[in-house]
Structure 1
């Protein structure tokens, strides 16, 4: 298998609601299980940061489908590269809403990888985005 990881960010459309987020996750679960995709979707401060892992072609197809979703805009590809192994192996997709995780640990994590105290992935490198998501994943295991 040609494992690849894709990282991207995008901006939520005005009026994005909790039911919208639930719908995104429900569809992602079905599609990603079918396609062997794993990953995490982080939402906060009106922005999405997502990573997808799996077969190169399936990841590309998934990203192309995501780009057509009208619930976000101005997607920016951060990284697309071959990897030796998956990081987010336990989740076909998991939504992490940072607004619900306003703890000292999350604030420290934002400051660790970003010059901003708020969630602002546009100010982070690809490596910083990946490590941020990896640590969020580790913090939320078992929840």
Structure 2
């Protein structure tokens, strides 16, 4: 591998996704039904346009690792252990891959993301809601 192949955001994304078992929308829905934690990192304006994901917790990307690390004093109650299955969702499935890899680096080995993001969810005809969102600060 050359230096140019190991640098840049595309290389970072490729490395992040290499450690993920990414889910399609129907796999995501089934995993949530089985107890996986669905985490939406989209901005408020993106959620306003696209709608809210049913059952998702909204956590800003800037604090994601602190809210989901079971050892963090700033964790949310749902951060019950490092074996918790967490599915991160963004608008198109790019930043969610990086976020899921970050969660894995913290120790959440079952963290993954929704391939294609909310756009794939909508294309699959899966439901959205008008809110209110379960926003965790």
TM-score (norm 1): 0.28
* TM-score with structure 2 setting the length: 0.29
Structure with bigger strand share is 1
